[in-house]
Chain A
Amino acid sequence: MNNIAVRVEGISKRYRIGTIATYKTIRESMVNVISAPFHRKGTADSSPIKHYIWALKDVSFEVERGQVLGVIGRNGSGKSTLLKVLSRIIQPTEGRAEIYGSVGSLLEVGTGFHPELTGRENILLNASILGMKKTDVKRKMDDIIDFAGDVVKNFIDTPVKHYSSCMYVRLAFSVAAHFNPEVLIVDEVLAVGDADFQEKSLGTMGEIAKSGRTVIFVSHNMNAIRKLCTHAILLESGKVTETGLVNDVAAKYVKAMSQTGV
C-alpha cells in the first residue's frame, strides 16, 4: 500500500512584481497587445529578474500518511503561498504535487459566513463551502452547536450579525473542528478567539493530529508547532532549507532567527 499522503515535486510559483496588488485597466492591456509585436519574445524573457519574484522555488517534500507536518519560516518565506498552491487556490508556475485521499483546507474560519443568515444556516453554508456533505453536516449539527458553547447555542437561530465577535469565531471554529478530510491543510489563523477558546482550539488541533489524519500546518507559533507536529520543513525565501523531525527543524529555525537578530 502506498504510504505517501502528499508528494510535492519541484513546485515553484512566480509573481510579477507590480501586478499583485494593482488592477490592470483595459486600456493598459490594449496598449500591451498593440505594442507586443514590437518586442521580441526573447528580449522580454531575458530580463526576468527585474519583473518577477519567485515566491516558491523548487519546493519538494513528502508527507506520509498520519504525519503532521509543520511549515516553518519567517514572514514572506512563502508559507502562505505554499498552502494556497496545495489548497488549489492558486496555480503553481512549475512543478507538480499529488495528494492521495480526500483533501480539505482551512485557511480561515467562517469562509462564506453571511451576516444575515442565522447561526444554523451559516453552519450549513460554511460546511458546504468547505466540502462537507449535507447529510454529514445534518448528522453533526448538534455536536457542532454544542462545541461552540452555551452562548452560541442560545442564539443559534439568530442572524450572526447580532453575534459578538467572539461568538462568531466560536461558531466558525466549531464547524472547522468537525471537518475531517483525510488530508487537512491548516493555516495559523485558527489561533482565534479569546485565550480560553484558543486553548480549546489548540486542543482540538491536537486531537486531529493524534487521530491519525495527515495534516499540513503553518504557524509562527513555535510552541504550537512543537506541540502538534511530528515533522517539519523550514522555508527560506521560497526554498526548503531544512526537513526532518519537528524538534530538529524548529531548533535550527530558532537558532537562525537569533543569529540574524530578527
Chain B
Amino acid sequence: MSTNKTGQKAANKQSVTIIKPLKGWVSINFRELWNHRELLYFLIWRDIKIRYKQTIFGFLWAVIQPLMMMLVFTLFFGKLAGVPSNGIPYPLFCYAALLPWTLFSEGLTRASNSVDASLIQKVYFPRIILPTASILSPLIDFIFAIIPLLGLMFFYGYMPNERMLLFLPLCVLVLMLSLGVGLWLAAINVEYRDIRYVIPFTVQLLMFASPIIYSSNFVPPRFQVAYGLLNPISGILEGFRWAITGTTPPSLQQLFASTGIILVILVSGAYFFQRRQGAFADYI
C-alpha cells in the first residue's frame, strides 16, 4: 500500500461529504463536476477506443456512413425526384447538412442510453457526466467526416474559407441541443424503458422533418421564427450549408429562435435530470 501524499491529505481536511435526502431543485455542483473532469475524459476515451474495435475499416466507418447516405439521397431525391438545392450541387448540399445531423443524432441516441446500470449501482460520481460524455464522443467521427467534405468542395470548385470558422459556434449549438434532449430522454429512460424503442424511429422521422434532403427556403419568411422554434436544428443545418458554400445565408430570426429554444431545452433538461438522478439507482 502506498501512502497518501501529505499535501493531498491537507487539501482534503476540510472536505465534508453530506448525505441527506435531496428535494426539489438540485443545482449542478460545477466544482464537483470540475473535480471529475478526468472521469469525463476517460469515458469519452473509452467510447472512442471501443467504437471501431474488431472492424476492418475502423474509423473509415465514420466517413463511409454519411457518404453512403449522401449517395442514396442524391440518387433518389437529387436525381430522381429533382429536389431543388439552392443551386448547390446536390451531393455537397446534402452532405453539408448530414454532417451536423449525424453529430446530433449519434449524440442524442447514445446520451439517452447512457445511464449505465453497472456503473451507477456501484460507484458515485455526478451522473450528468454520463450523457455529457455520450454527446462529446461523436465529435471524433465528425472531425473524420470533414475530410470527404473537403474533397467534395474541391471537386465542385468551392474553396475552404473563413466562413467555415462558423463550424465552431454551430457545433456548440448542435452539442447543446443533443445534450438538452439527451438529458431529458436519459432521465426518462431510466424509469420507462419505452424510450429505447421510441428513439430509433423518432430520429429517422426527425431527419426527414429537418432540411437535409431539401432546403428550408420553402418556408415563407414570416414563418421562419415558428419553424426555428418547432425544429431548432433546421437553422443550424442551413448555417452549415452557408458556411461551406456561401450561397443562401440562413434566416437570422430563425437562428435566434432556435438558439433560444435550445437554451430552454438544455436548462430544463439539466433541471429534470438533476431532479431525477438521485432515484436512478432505485429504478435501474
Interface residues of chain A, those whose CB is within 8 Å of chain B, are 11, 15, 19-20, 23-26, 29, 84-103, 105, 107-108, 111-112, 114, 116-117, 121, 124-125, 128-131, 133-134, 140, 143, 177-178, 180, 182, 204, 207-208, 211
Residues of B within 8 A of A182 (CB): 4, 9, 12
CB-based contact B21/A94 at 8 Å: yes
Do B19 and A85 touch (CB < 8 A)? yes
Q: How far is the CB of A15 from chain B (nearest CB, A)?
A: 7
Contact assessment for A90 and B282 in the assembled complex, using a CB-CB cutoff below 8 Å: yes
Instruction: Tell yes or no: B17 within 8 A of A by CB.
Output: yes
Instruction: Let me know if B120 is at the binding interface, CB within 8 A.
Output: yes
Tell me if A23 and B191 are in contact (CB < 8 A). yes
Asked if B1 and A208 make an inter-chain contact with CB atoms under 8 angstroms apart, the answer reads: yes
Chain B window 7-37, contacts with chain A (Cβ cutoff 8 Å), 1 for yes, 0 for no: 0110011011111111000000000000000
Contact (Cβ within 8 A) B119 A111: yes
**Other A-B pairs, 7, CB within 8 Å; known A102-B12, A103-B17, A143-B2:** A87-B124, A89-B281, A90-B281, A99-B17, A108-B122, A129-B123, A182-B4
- B residues apposed to A, CB below 8 Å: 1-4, 8-9, 12-13, 15-22, 38-39, 41-42, 45-46, 49-50, 53-54, 118-125, 191-194, 278-279, 281-283
Taking A94-B21, A95-B20, A101-B12 as contacts, is the C-beta distance between A26 and B192 under 8 angstroms?
A: yes
Complex Cα spacing A204 to B45, Å: 31
Nearest CB in chain B: distance from A68 CB, A = 14
The residue that A114 contacts in the complex, of B8, B18, B50, with Cβ under 8 A, is B50
Residue of chain B at shortest CB distance from A159? B53
Residue in B46, B123, B279, B282 whose CB lies within 8 Å of A117: B46
Given known A-B contacts A128-B39, A182-B12, A208-B1, A96 and B49 have beta carbons under 8 A apart: no
Q: List chain B residues, Cβ under 8 A from A11.
A: 19
Given contacts A29-B192, A108-B122, contact A96 B39 (CB under 8 A): no
B22 touches A89 (CB 8 A): no
B19 touches A96 (CB 8 A): yes
Q: How far is the CB of B34 from chain A (nearest CB, A)?
A: 13
> Which residue of A88, A111, A114 has the most chain B CB atoms within 10 A of its CB atom?
A88
Residue of A nearest to B23 (CB): A91
Residues of A contacting B4 in the complex (Cβ-Cβ under 8 angstroms):
180, 182
Option from A91, A101, A111, A124 in Cβ contact (under 8 Å) with B22: A91
Distance in Å from the Cβ of A86 to the closest Cβ of chain B?
Answer: 7
Whether B15 pairs with A102 at a CB distance below 8 angstroms is: yes
CA distance A103 to B19 in the complex (A): 12
Could you list 16 A-B pairs, sorted by A, with CB under 8 Å? A15-B282, A19-B283, A26-B194, A89-B124, A103-B17, A116-B54, A117-B50, A125-B45, A128-B41, A130-B123, A131-B123, A134-B38, A180-B1, A180-B2, A182-B12, A208-B1
Name B121's closest neighbour in chain A (CB-CB): A89
Residues of B near A204 (CB, < 8 A) are: 1
Which residue of chain B has its CB nearest to the CB of A177?
A: B1
A23 lies within 8 A of B193 (CB): yes
Chain B positions within 8 Å of A92 at CB level: 19-21
Cβ contacts under 8 Å, A85 to chain B? 19
User: Are the C-beta atoms of B122 and A107 separated by less than 8 Å?
Assistant: yes
The 6 closest A-B pairs by CB, nearest first: A88-B124, A97-B19, A99-B17, A128-B42, A91-B278, A96-B20
* B279 contact set on A, CB distance < 8 A: 91
The interface residues of chain B lying within 8 Å CB-to-CB of A88 are: 17, 19, 124
| Most chain B CB atoms below 10 A, which of A102, A105, A114 | A102
Q: Which residues of chain B come closer than 8 Å to A207, judged between CB atoms?
A: 1
**Known A-B contacts A90-B281, A105-B124, A182-B9; A125 and B194 likewise in contact (beta carbons under 8 Å):** no
Residues of B within 8 A of A108 (CB): 122
Tell me the complex Cα distance, A30–B155, Å: 55
Give chain B nearest CB distance to A94 CB in angstroms: 6
| Alpha-carbon distance between A174 and B34 when the two chains are bound, in angstroms | 27
Least distance between A53 CB and chain B CB atoms (Å): 13
Instruction: Give A121 to B42 CA distance when docked, in angstroms.
Output: 10
A8→B155 CA distance, assembly (Å)? 69
Complex-state Cα separation, A88 to B41, whole angstroms: 22
| Contact of A98 with B119 in the complex, beta carbons under 8 Å | no
- Docked CA distance A20–B281 (Å): 10
Report chain A residues within 8 Å CB of B22.
91
Q: Give A182's nearest chain B residue, CB to CB.
A: B12
The CB with the most chain A CB atoms within 10 A, among B4, B20, B123, is that of B123
The answer on a CB contact under 8 Å between A100 and B2 is no
Task: Check A211 against B1 for contact (C-beta < 8 Å).
Answer: yes
CB < 8 Å neighbour of A99 from B19, B125, B278: B19
B197 to chain A, nearest CB (A): 11
A117 to B124, CA, bound (A): 22
- Tell me which residues across on chain B come within 8 A of A98, comparing CB atoms: 16-19
A96-B282 contact in complex given A114-B50, A207-B1, C-beta closer than 8 Å: no
Give the interface centre of B8, B21, B54 by most chain A CB atoms within 10 Å: B21
Asked whether A111 lies within 8 Å of B17 as measured between CB atoms, the reply is no
